[in-house]
């Protein structure tokens, strides 16, 4: 599921060191930048523990990580409500771009230029509608089966960067390859007839704008 209809007015992109020095409302950072507290009533954080380029591990309290598992309709309903009633935060990487690097198919070892915390407001009517539409299309296409859906912000980031994007401290315009731009919902059905999942070869993996 690709989120595309996001403008510079509804999406914030903050360089990670700046985020840690001056955390936005809903976040507090302990001395040393190692532990970040967030307000779970207003923030939906999908950030795994990570290492800063200058060294040092960063842990976000109340983060659900980038892979979220739900096992029943109640869990799914709560997850969906959280997405559409809070601000969503993920950590992404801007990587070097080469003539052979297109879209988001860059190799995993592509050199990271800078990391950013990206925020979108799930309460925004347009974003809320797009999230609900993507999740509804996914769940309506499966019946009692386990599935996985990637919620991807790559297209939104490409639209946000425009033609004048510059890395912090660099006046030259760049066109980065964005990496780590999605978080994943894994739904494990509690239905006994989900044979593909129990046998280990379920192919219910949804990604992209066509879901």
Query: What is the per-residue pLDDT across 7-56, written as a single tens digit (0 to 9) for each?
Result: 555 789 999 999 999 999 999 998 777 899 999 999 999 999 998 877 78
How much is the pLDDT for 117? 95
How do residues 69-78 score in pLDDT, each as one tens digit? 988 878 888 9
How do residues 144-163 score in pLDDT, each as one tens digit? 667 788 888 888 888 777 65
Sequence-separated contacts (24+) of 73-80 with Cβ below 8 Å: 76/139, 76/187, 79/185, 80/131, 80/132, 80/135
How much is the pLDDT for 85? 95
Of residues 135 and 170, more confidently modeled: 135
Of residues 189 and 206, more confidently modeled: 189
Helices 125-140 and 73-83, axial angle in degrees (round to 10): 160
Mean pLDDT of 183-191: 76
SS3 assignment, position 129: helix
Contact 127, 10 (CB under 8 A): yes
Residue 100, pLDDT > 60, answer no
- The whole-angstrom separation of Cα 65 and Cα 45 is 7
pTM for this prediction? 0.79
Q: How many residues does the chain have?
A: 211
Residue 83, pLDDT > 50, answer yes
C-alpha of 24 from chain center: 18
How much is the pLDDT for 198? 38
Cα distances from 72 to residues 61, 133, 164, 184, 186, in angstroms, run 25, 20, 45, 16, 11
């Amino acid at each position: 599921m690709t989120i595309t209809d996001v403008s510079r007015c509804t999406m914030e992109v903050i360089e990670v060191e700046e985020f840690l020095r001056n955390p936005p409302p809903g976040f507090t950072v302990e001395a040393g930048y190692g532990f970040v507290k967030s307000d779970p009533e207003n923030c939906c954080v999908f950030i795994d523990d990570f290492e800063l380029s200058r060294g040092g591990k960063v842990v976000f309290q109340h983060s659900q990580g980038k892979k979220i598992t739900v096992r029943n309709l109640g869990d799914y309903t709560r997850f969906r409500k959280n997405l559409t009633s809070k601000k969503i935060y993920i950590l992404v990487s801007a990587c070097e771009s080469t003539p052979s690097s297109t879209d988001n198919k860059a190799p995993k070892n592509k050199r990271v230029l800078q990391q950013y915390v990206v925020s979108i407001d799930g309460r925004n009517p347009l974003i809320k509608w797009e999230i609900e539409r993507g999740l509804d299309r996914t769940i309506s296409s499966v019946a009692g089966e386990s599935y996985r859906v990637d919620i991807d912000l790559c297209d939104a980031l490409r639209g946000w960067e425009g033609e004048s994007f510059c890395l912090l401290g660099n006046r030259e315009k760049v066109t980065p390859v964005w990496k780590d731009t999605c978080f994943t919902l894994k739904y494990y059905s509690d239905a006994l007839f989900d044979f593909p999942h129990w046998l280990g070869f379920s192919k219910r993996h949804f990604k992209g704008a066509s879901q």
